[in-house]
Structure 1
């Protein structure tokens, strides 16, 4: 469980970036417009099939109508997938931040400064008026306590 907690702390910024990207994609999703697809269908033909240039198959209008429906479903599916992934990442991030807020103030400060703000342990030690070894001990204890918290929800330690 400690490895899991360390991995969560190490990937905090990566998750934050993923959350920002997904939020943007959710607010401004990339979609293929119906017109783009219909234009593609109208003028697409295989080489050497014997069709004359500019010939439009009588199947094209049916394909275009079906495409409109399918495009709407596909676009909705993409938005749903983005929403689901975003919710999972945000939930994981919020859980980590909440559990850290439950730690003793000094443990919380050490984790926030060393993991989230990427401050050097020497700088944190100076801020707290302790040795670097003491900062390492505080961080290790904080990680152990976080592992216990995560163990409560998963039933493992």
Structure 2
């Protein structure tokens, strides 16, 4: 009986997430600003975000306290959907993400997922590939910086 209830709950949650991801009523290409179209796709300007290009200062060596804190957040809130390899689970794998994306883009995706999925072309492409909308995990700006530091560590930065 308990197994049946768990399976029903998992199926219901999956269906809700899937149906939520299907609501992809985006703006047409004509409605997007020409300014965002002129920039590289992974650096398109996103309005309403807390972090803009140049807001994040990356240092080496890595802050090991932040790496440890980021790993803890990953294990609690992220690993059920993201692997540390390039393999996709529910969401994309994290291997080399810090080499492909700007730090502000990564932190905005973590902290402002709804806004990113609404306005950022690369986030929209990820939604089309993964078919599941990333949930808002209520992660603070500081926590997202710790996750970024953990991602940098995962990508071999020391």
TM range (shorter): under 0.3
Q: Larger radius of gyration, structure 1 or 2?
A: 1
TM normalised by structure 2 equals 0.24
TM normalised by structure 1 equals 0.24
